[in-house]
Structure 1
Amino acid sequence: MSLPGRCARVDGGSASTYRRRMRLDVELRDRRILVGGTPQVLRAGEVHYFRLARDGWRRRLELLLEAGGDTVATYVPWGVHELADGTLDLTGRTRPELDLGAFLDLAAELGLLVFARPGPFQMAELRHEGLPGRIGRDHRDLVPVGWDAAPAPTPDLDVAAPRFLDLTRPWYAAVGEVLRPRLAPNGGPVVAVQLDNEVGMLSWVSNTPVLTEHAVAELRERVVAAPDRRPAAAYPAPDAPLEEWLAAVRSPSPELAPDLRVDLAELHRDRAARYLASLADLAREHGFGDVPLLVNVHGTAADSAAPLPIGISQLQRSWQGAVGGVAGMTAGSDHYVGSLSAAGAAEMHLAHAFLAATLGPDQPLTVLEHECGTGDYGGDLGAHVDPEAVDLKTRLLLAQGARLFNWYLFAGGANWSDPRPGEAQQRIGITGERHGAAAPVTPEGERGPAFASTAASMRAVADLERWAAVWEPEHDALAVGYLPSAFATEHVHPADEAGRALRADLEQHRFGGPRGILPRVLLAEGYRFGAVDLEDHDDDEDGRWPRVVVVGAGRVLDGGVQERLVEHVRAGGGLLLVGDLPELDLRGRPCTALADALGLRRTGEVRSGPRMPCDVRPAGGTTGWAEVTSSRVSALAPPSAPGAEVLAVEATSGKPCAVAVPLGEGSAVVVAADAPLPSGWYRSLVERLGAAPGLHVEGAAPGLVVATTATPEGERFLHLMATSGHPQRVRVSERDASGALMPLLGGRPVELAGRSGTILRLEPVQPDYGTGHRHQTLRGNE
């Protein structure tokens, strides 16, 4: 399993004992990870050395190699390595399992690369989220207070405060002493380092904005520096004492709340970016910043990827920088979506398309916590993830161009007893003594029920690495619009009724329209699509918006985005907006730039009730689809623009709820209803706007996802994933430049068992990379 250029350890483990074979630079370039100049898809498995007896390390790493991994990932927890007396043990002088260098050396000896995650925050079900408990106890100014000066209910800290960075510096210095000589450019195994972990997650899930004195002082500076944005009587006077600002911000008046929601979101996003940039500087200062630095994005919840863009929105400024992306840095997802239903696959696709839309031209998509295991995290048989899920999730993300996977948690371990004065939790972790019972490798070091399926997914990536390390997803002439500001909803004061209403509107529509319908219907209709950041001012100017932009939006939509959408259409583009007609900005103020340009006006709303169904039907008595029941319909005034057309109406009143409007050189379609309209109708809308589906799949049962990728050399691959239990027997055609459908694979059918996938090389002949259900050789186009 060893790769060229890896280092060999010949004795005890100090830096001087290495016999270096080759110094390998690790680069991020053209959305690829290059190790020693060779593109790779890194296959990591998370193994927590500190939760294992030292003589058990080799067994877990050998099982990782057996499974097909080439990289070991691990947290390096500050709060575990810091002893009760405040000193650090990274050499095993007090406990053998704390010898970080020896663990990294063993990985190198076995031919494994290393992905190190030194925090300072780690989460990982560790006491105090992996930090020393003394920080919160001894530095109360770092402990957040939130709304109404209530203390944070989580172990969060004000990480952007200078004091926290000062406290972190000695930790990074000590870690640097171990990591620096073991970086790949220095002849060691460490190829990547993660900065902190899930920044902003604790604040989001608890609706507790960081309103420390330091944070509110920063907010005051920003507001005073931008007087045009400060309401006359809402914020305190610029020269008012900080205590007055603290009181106003922590318990905002109804007059202040609308601006505060937006201003706090901006403040927290800039503070997160500054914090992560400071950590990157510390890593470089202490010698371990010469490999890619990665940012882990949180956000999946309740087996759904729909909340993931909240984390993207919170953190994207950290890897984007001023323009084109921060060199040497990229982002990765952290997902826990269970068994991956057919609807969940569409959510996963869209969430990662949104993440990819924020990455610069050199920044690859990565997956920093790739869920594996049985799913029984509570150990009470209360949950189960089927074994096919890890394979399907891997295939889905490979088709989107992921270059690093970290199967998490690969090996379980133990939370050993570490009693300390004043600590309620007397173990290093919060999950009892056994940790990671759901992992593919059990806490006792045995192959668990999920080992075989996890290994199969790793080996599939290994088999495909030659191509998967460089291929890119192919997209049709459309993209789904990503709206970062629509996901800036993590903090709303409990008494802010207007804010809660705005948040509800955004949550209902921002992730692919009402019901999250757009990614499902686009995939079902054969569209290959990515996403575009509608708030990135450079994207549309650089021509990176495709012909058609599909947007899920309700009554609330940022004014700048409305104006850019108008310009896109006027310049010849197409817009499909599904949800409602926007009429408010993010502060709740009237904003009708898009509606005014299209000559549209919202006249009312009809909601379905127990005795009053709300139905939608095609306009003009057409019979293209049957009348359907909607939970809500917005009535629109008849469009006045020349050439405008009513497409659908509310059945009882006959009032328009879906219209097509020409504007300049392009046209827009607005669907102002929350209704399960037919997927074929949505396809017809996108086609009339100028984007036909690139693929046509004959005979598909529900749950089939189809995609294509291509390498720079022109090698192309067809990806098919049956995400439901339905068996599939399909024929796939592709639309050529003239619009004609040309059969792929010579018109031969492809068969898939339910919950399985395959990747077929279209040209030339190549074996099928299946899941073990069937293996056959299919010929591509000739």
Structure 2
Amino acid sequence: MSDQGSYLYGFGRPVLYGEYPYYRAAPARWAANLAALAEAGVDVVTCYLPWRFHETAPGTHDFTGETDPQRDVVGLLGLIRAAGLKAVLKPGPFVHGEVQLGGLPDRVSPSRDDRYAPVLNSLGEPVTSQAMVLPSASCPEYTAQVREWLTAVDKSVLAPALGDPVVGVQLGNEGVYSDANQAATAHDFSPPAVRAFAEWLGAAGEPELADTTGLVPPRSWPPELRTAWAVWGGETLRAHYALLADCLSPQVRAAALVNLPLPALDGPSGAVAAWLARTAPLAGAGFAEGYTSWVGNAARSRTAFASHWFGVRARRSANVEDNWGFTWTDPSYARPQVPLHHALLALGLGSVSCSAYTACSTGSWGGVIDLDPAGLRAEGLDPADYAPPYCPGAPLREDGTTGPNLGALHALRDLLRGPAAALADGHYAADLLLLAPRGLAAAQAWRPDGSQLLPDTVKLAEQLMNRHQYRVDVATELPDVDADPAVPWLVPVDGHEDDEELFTALADRQIRGGAVVLLSAGPLTGRWADWPGPAATAPDAEALLPLLPPPALADPGSGPGTVLVHENQHGRPVAVFAFNPGRQPTTVRRRIHGTALVLGLAPGGAALLDASLDPVLVLPGPDDTSWTPTPVGRQKLQPSSQTPKETPR
């Protein structure tokens, strides 16, 4: 999944996923629901396979409806195939999905069976789901049960349907327990997990640090051990996914993908750095990567917008889960412009897919799926929020009626099958590059001083885009030092992190004439005290702007607003995406290849324009309760063969 024109599953355009939780829908309605999804524009149906739902006894599973017609996932795949759809199945083992214990059988919880080691946080407290303790993924008794479950799914469901209709298999869900964007202190500190960490340290030539893990409680670990733990977090997540993949047959394993949450910029100290340290090792692991976007409404919040921008560009991932109608935190998710806003943002950031989660509102499920009310209350949640229907604002409904976001789904269908297909001809273009090194992430992930250099730098980049008209990209791996010297690299550095490889590469780029600007919250120390280039500056726009060249598309008359441009190999625009995450109306202006862009955007509004800067889709803000989508034109977003004419100001 990338932004380099490689589309998924043989589609010659961006793919539209639609979540359909069959275990919440009456089997008699499956065929009609799936036909409606296909008509509405869904290409690929996604659905979790909850372990607890299909297990009828330990080691015994029903995938054909022998014990309950709703368990007939094999029959469901036949209906998906008959509807002309493809499928991505998500067997977990932990799926979340608002399913009791995240889909795990109660029997594997340490609350029920003390043979299973519990997940513990850094304070030694058990980590729970609906007040039931989760089993450690480092516990061999638990992983043996996981292997049995996934092997059964592979044999009975995945392998027989691979290719038609199953085109993908998701491993896990957003980490081990939907935890990949949580702070390093929330990762698994159970005895088997810490033992594995100590063994890893010993193998890496750090026997003293390895011994310290058994002598000192995690909350008192020294800084070097905390940094190593952050690195280990990435290694253990990669190993976890490898273990899950190893449970599958080789041909199914080749279709494996992972979904990762976006970083939570408003999360606890160190969470953004921990996210980067934990997800970066997945590069080169052989899994396609997707992202889920449960970090806030980007149409309302610049912080949420920045989380999307940094997370998607850092991982070059594709959207596999977006809120299309859950209104727990914000009623505007049931207004068509909000899911469309996030779809435009996904495409603008280079995603080759969009997702409607869920595409169909459902209300037919029983106690095996239902969240335990007492468990919810114990965790401070209101059971009424999780009562039927599931996803009230979804485009379609299980009973055959339509929901408030159907017009949005139709508009997205027309967009993906028409104008957006030409995005393959372009790439995300940038004036600046934010280089976020892994070493910095590990050093910042669990710092006692609460340093926020990385999230502060991400927020600075969003400010440069929104207020100062720059286009900014992200890299987490060191690029070629000879890459476009006219594009300055913004590099946050931590004086306590002596990364010789990074220092040498950046100094080499500086010597060769490439611009490098170091960002630091304080004086540089250690190896960085010898930096041969300009002095480091604070992650602050006022201090940074004098060190930067002007943005390439700048127009001095522009109001706030972020503009993302996809360009072809000749530097000409293929598509232009504009966003106003602010709370006031704005007029965005840019000079794009000789043409003046002048675009008014409502608070929280967004727009897509074609190569001639003509609007394809313009969205109001999230508080507009009367807007309905109009059909999206079928024109291509391709550059004109003629030189664009200057348009009047």
**In which range does the TM-score fall when normalised by the shorter chain?**
0.7 to 0.9
Structure 2: distance between partners of 1:542 and 1:159? 43
C-alpha displacement of 1:117:
1.1
Q: Which residue of 2 aligns with 1:335?
A: 294
Structure 2: 5+ residue runs without aligned partners? Answer: 377-381, 620-628, 645-649
After TM superposition, the structure 1 = structure 2 runs for residues 616-765 of structure 1, keeping only pairs within 5 Å, are: 663=532, 667-672=533-538, 677-678=541-542, 682-687=544-549, 692-697=550-555, 699-710=557-568, 716-724=574-582, 729=587, 731-734=589-592, 742-744=593-595, 747=596, 749-750=598-599, 755-762=604-611
C-alpha displacement of 1:295:
1.2
After TM superposition, the structure 1 = structure 2 runs for residues 2-17 of structure 1, keeping only pairs within 5 Å, are: none
1:460 correspondence with 2:441? no
Q: Which amino acid aligns with 1:480?
A: L
- Picking from 308, 317, 322, the partner of 1:348 is 308
Q: Evaluate the alpha carbon distance shift between residue 575 and residue 467 of structure 1 in structure 2; reply closer, same or farther with a 3 A threshold.
A: same
1:250 correspondence with 2:217? yes
C-alpha displacement of 1:130:
1.0
Structure 2: distance between partners of 1:326 and 1:284? 17
Tell me the alpha carbon deviations over residues 130-162 of structure 1, each in whole angstroms, 9 at most, x when there is no partner.
111212234634322343543334443322444
- Picking from 383, 398, 416, the partner of 2:347 is 398
Q: Which residue of 2 aligns with 1:124?
A: 97
- Picking from 610, 616, 626, the partner of 1:768 is 616
Structure 1: distance between partners of 2:307 and 2:328? 23
Q: Which residue of 1 aligns with 2:81?
A: 108
- Picking from 501, 512, 517, the partner of 2:460 is 517
Tell me the alpha carbon deviations over residues 385-416 of structure 1, each in whole angstroms, 9 at most, x when there is no partner.
75422222211221222112222122232363
Q: Which amino acid aligns with 1:411?
A: C
Q: Which residue of 1 aligns with 2:279?
A: 315
- Picking from 261, 272, 287, the partner of 2:237 is 272
Structure 1: distance between partners of 2:328 and 2:448? 32
Structure 2: distance between partners of 1:712 and 1:174? 51
Q: Evaluate the alpha carbon distance shift between residue 709 and residue 722 of structure 1 in structure 2; reply closer, same or farther with a 3 A threshold.
A: farther
After TM superposition, the structure 1 = structure 2 runs for residues 294-693 of structure 1, keeping only pairs within 5 Å, are: 294-301=257-264, 310-318=274-282, 320=283, 325-327=284-286, 329-338=288-297, 340-341=299-300, 343=302, 344-356=304-316, 365-373=317-325, 375-377=326-328, 387-414=336-363, 416-418=365-367, 431-442=386-397, 444=399, 446-469=401-424, 471-476=426-431, 478-488=432-442, 499-501=447-449, 504-505=450-451, 508-513=452-457, 516-533=459-476, 536=477, 539-540=479-480, 543=483, 547-553=487-493, 557=497, 559-560=499-500, 561-583=502-524, 591-597=525-531, 663=532, 667-672=533-538, 677-678=541-542, 682-687=544-549, 692-693=550-551
Q: Evaluate the alpha carbon distance shift between residue 121 and residue 445 of structure 1 in structure 2; reply closer, same or farther with a 3 A threshold.
A: farther
Q: Which residue of 2 aligns with 1:212?
A: 190
Q: Which residue of 2 aligns with 1:144?
A: 119
Q: Evaluate the alpha carbon distance shift between residue 699 and residue 390 of structure 1 in structure 2; reply closer, same or farther with a 3 A threshold.
A: farther
C-alpha displacement of 1:123:
0.7
Structure 2: distance between partners of 1:288 and 1:258? 42
C-alpha displacement of 1:222:
2.7
Tell me the alpha carbon deviations over residues 498-534 of structure 1, each in whole angstroms, 9 at most, x when there is no partner.
x431xx21xx2203528x122221343332221122x
CA contact (8 A) 1:300 1:337 kept: no
Q: Which amino acid aligns with 2:211?
A: P
Q: Which residue of 1 aligns with 2:626?
A: none
Q: Evaluate the alpha carbon distance shift between residue 370 and residue 459 of structure 1 in structure 2; reply closer, same or farther with a 3 A threshold.
A: farther
- What percentage of aligned pairs have identical amino acids? 22
Q: Evaluate the alpha carbon distance shift between residue 372 and residue 748 of structure 1 in structure 2; reply closer, same or farther with a 3 A threshold.
A: closer
C-alpha displacement of 1:277:
1.5
Greater Rg by CA: 1
Q: Evaluate the alpha carbon distance shift between residue 671 and residue 773 of structure 1 in structure 2; reply closer, same or farther with a 3 A threshold.
A: farther
Q: What SS is found at the alignment partner of 1:178?
A: helix
* Range that drifts further, 175-184 or 330-339: 330-339
Q: What SS is found at the alignment partner of 1:708?
A: strand
Tell me the alpha carbon deviations over residues 180-232 of structure 1, each in whole angstroms, 9 at most, x when there is no partner.
22222xxx1222211110114448369343233332222232333344x455x
C-alpha displacement of 1:756:
4.1
C-alpha displacement of 1:261:
0.8
Tell me the alpha carbon deviations over residues 730-753 of structure 1, each in whole angstroms, 9 at most, x when there is no partner.
55324xxxxxxx522xx4745555
Q: Evaluate the alpha carbon distance shift between residue 571 and residue 90 of structure 1 in structure 2; reply closer, same or farther with a 3 A threshold.
A: same
Tell me the alpha carbon deviations over residues 52-102 of structure 1, each in whole angstroms, 9 at most, x when there is no partner.
101122343233234322111111111111125652111111221111111
Q: Which amino acid aligns with 2:610?
A: R
1:178 correspondence with 2:157? yes
Structure 2: distance between partners of 1:442 and 1:774? 22
* Range that drifts further, 147-156 or 345-354: 147-156
CA contact (8 A) 2:498 2:526 kept: no
Q: Evaluate the alpha carbon distance shift between residue 250 and residue 695 of structure 1 in structure 2; reply closer, same or farther with a 3 A threshold.
A: same
Structure 2: distance between partners of 1:540 and 1:252? 39
TM (normalized to structure 1)?
A: 0.69
Structure 2: distance between partners of 1:29 and 1:524? 25
C-alpha displacement of 1:775:
8.3
Q: Evaluate the alpha carbon distance shift between residue 480 and residue 371 of structure 1 in structure 2; reply closer, same or farther with a 3 A threshold.
A: same
Considering fraction of residues, name the structure with more strand: 1
Q: What SS is found at the alignment partner of 1:456?
A: helix
C-alpha displacement of 1:698:
5.5
Q: What SS is found at the alignment partner of 1:406?
A: strand
Structure 2: distance between partners of 1:577 and 1:273? 30
Q: Which amino acid aligns with 2:289?
A: T
Structure 2: distance between partners of 1:327 and 1:302? 28
Q: Which residue of 2 aligns with 1:637?
A: none
Q: What SS is found at the alignment partner of 1:414?
A: coil
Structure 2: distance between partners of 1:393 and 1:419? 33
Q: What SS is found at the alignment partner of 1:531?
A: strand
CA contact (8 A) 1:727 1:751 kept: yes
Q: What SS is found at the alignment partner of 1:500?
A: coil
CA contact (8 A) 1:117 1:193 kept: yes
RMSD value, Cα: 3.9
CA contact (8 A) 2:94 2:173 kept: yes
Structure 1: distance between partners of 2:66 and 2:485? 57
Q: Which amino acid aligns with 1:35?
A: Y
Tell me the alpha carbon deviations over residues 407-450 of structure 1, each in whole angstroms, 9 at most, x when there is no partner.
21222323633369xx88799x9734543234333565532233
CA contact (8 A) 2:18 2:37 kept: yes
Q: Which amino acid aligns with 1:565?
A: L
Q: Which amino acid aligns with 1:376?
A: T
CA contact (8 A) 2:319 2:354 kept: yes
Structure 1: 5+ residue runs without aligned partners? Answer: 1-26, 238-244, 357-364, 493-498, 584-590, 598-662, 735-741
CA contact (8 A) 1:723 1:755 kept: yes
Q: What SS is found at the alignment partner of 2:347?
A: helix
Q: Evaluate the alpha carbon distance shift between residue 206 and residue 717 of structure 1 in structure 2; reply closer, same or farther with a 3 A threshold.
A: closer
Structure 2: distance between partners of 1:439 and 1:490? 39
Tell me the alpha carbon deviations over residues 669-709 of structure 1, each in whole angstroms, 9 at most, x when there is no partner.
5323x76x55xx7444211xxxx422124543323434233
Structure 1: distance between partners of 2:266 and 2:31? 33
Structure 2: distance between partners of 1:298 and 1:440? 23
Structure 2: distance between partners of 1:347 and 1:419? 35
Matched positions, count: 610
CA contact (8 A) 2:562 2:578 kept: yes
